[in-house]
Amino acid sequence: MTFKVTILGSNSAIPTIRRNPTAQLVNHNERFFLVDCAEGTQLQLRKYKIKLQRINHIFISHLHGDHFFGLVGLISSMHLLGRKKELHIYGPARLKDILDIQLEASETTLAYPLIFHPLAPESRAVIYEDEKLTVSTIPLKHSIPTCGFLFKEKKGKRRIIKEMAQSLDIPVNDYPKIKNGEDFTDGTGKVYKNEEITGEPYPVRSYAYCSDTAYYEPVVPVIKDADLLYHETTFMQDMADVASAKLHSTTIEAASIAKLANVKKLIIGHFSNRYDNPMDLVIEARKVFSNTFLADDGKVFEIE
């Protein structure tokens, strides 16, 4: 089952020719989720050949412009391109007013239902759920209310052992019950225990996105053991004071969170424009957490 993250923007506040500010696309099981939406995100989607109408859920971490200024343009383009199906937006309550005033000023009535889900960034909550996935908020520490998002698979069903299914000639109609844990009785009345004919479900996978935040240990239990963590890293360690004052993180801080949380892989991004070569930040972070990678526009991270 697909589970991957495409980086659409990896810079902090100001867009550059090389790097757009924050946005990511999460593809889970061919469902597309947009996470943050800086100015220019709709063009990044085009550039990386992602069909924007496939996105049905958009999550906005906070109301700093480099995380949402592209949203109104994206929802307008979806409208102009003939969208009819629902679009769900999750973000701070004020975001709804910001979208409404702009649609109202342009006398635009969207041709599709826009369903807005106001978030309370300061508390943990499951905000999205389907049969295979939940998305929940990760409270963070920033200069305005901000949360990250944890994409976590639900525990799957037990898997029928192929050889057993064949040798016992289990009818396909019985599969759902067996996957749910029931035993199987064959034509002769013989009962096979569920544990004999099934194996453990696939392990659940998770992706944690920690948007703008200072070093903040309370996130550790929330993102514990995540397969993939994106953690902002605006500054190198020699600017720890500035990072702290601006409620952003350094390389070492992001890597320390990754280590404490025992995640499998760390992506760092949201770099200050002062850094010409963001690989320097990766090299520094690797001193604490070796499995650290660079967020780069267009890069795809698969979760295996």
Site membership for a second copy, residue 63 (CB under 8 A): yes
Q: Considering beta carbons, is residue 77 or 244 the nearer one to a second copy?
A: 77
Per CB under 8 A, does 111 bind a second copy? no
Kind of pairing between the strands at 300-302 and 3-9: antiparallel
Residue 77 sits in the site that holds a second copy (CB under 8 A): yes
Those residues with Cβ within 8 angstroms of residue 188's Cβ, 6 or more apart along the chain or in another chain:
none
Distance of closest approach, residue 224 Cβ to a second copy, in angstroms: 31
- Cα(180)–Cα(170) distance, rounded to whole angstroms? 15
The C-alpha atoms of residue 301 and residue 304 are separated, in whole angstroms, by 9
Interface with a second copy (CB under 8 A), residue total 35
* Widest distance between CA atoms in the chain: 75
| Residue 245 interacting with a second copy (CB under 8 A) | no
> How many beta carbons lie within 10 A of that of residue 45, not counting itself?
24
Smaller CB distance to a second copy: residue 63 or 150?
63
Q: Closest distance between a second copy and the C-beta of residue 206, in Å? A: 29
Using DSSP bridges, classify how beta strands 87-92 and 55-59 pair: parallel, antiparallel or unpaired: parallel
**Least distance from a second copy to the Cβ atom of residue 114, Å:** 15
Which tokens go with 41? 């995100």
Would you count residue 46 as binding a second copy (CB under 8 A)?
yes
Interface segment toward a second copy; rule CB under 8 A; list 71-79, 159-167, 236-244, 275-283: 71-79
Decide: is 51 part of the binding site for a second copy (CB under 8 A).
no
Question: Treating both helix axes as pointing N-terminal to C-terminal, what angle do 94-105 and 71-80 enclose, rounded to 10 degrees?
Answer: 50
Which listed residue (30, 82, 105, 187) binds a second copy by CB under 8 A? Answer: 105
Is residue 69 within the footprint of a second copy (CB under 8 A)?
yes
Please choose, from the candidates 3, 266, 221, the residue with its C-alpha nearest in 3D space to the C-alpha of residue 133.
3
Catalytic-labelled residue, pool 36, 66, 212, 227? 66
Site for a second copy (CB under 8 A): which residue of 30, 82, 85, 107?
Answer: 107
Identify the residue among 65, 113, 176, 218 touching a second copy (CB under 8 A): 65
User: Per the structure block, which two tokens stand in for 114?
Assistant: 């826009």
The least distance separating a second copy from the CB of residue 65, rounded to whole angstroms, comes to: 5
Count of Cβ atoms closer than 10 Å to residue 129 Cβ: 11
Binding to a second copy by residue 83, rule CB under 8 A?
A: no
**How many Å apart are CA 279 and CA 138, to the nearest integer?**
27
Residue 42 is a binding residue for a second copy (CB under 8 A):
yes
User: Are 160 and 178 within 8 A, CB to CB?
Assistant: yes
* C-beta of residue 279 within 8 angstroms of C-beta of residue 247: no
Spatial neighbors of 279 by CB under 8 A, at least 6 apart, are: 294
Could you say whether residue 131 binds a second copy (CB under 8 A)?
no
Give the residue from 93, 37, 27 showing the smallest Cα distance to 70.
37
Among 8, 10, 40, 168, indicate the residue that binds a second copy (CB under 8 A): 40
Q: Is 66 a catalytic residue?
A: yes
Catalytic residues: 66
Point out which residues bind a second copy (CB under 8 A): 13-17, 39-40, 42-43, 46-47, 63-65, 69-70, 72-73, 76-77, 80-81, 92, 94-95, 97-98, 101-102, 105-108, 143-144
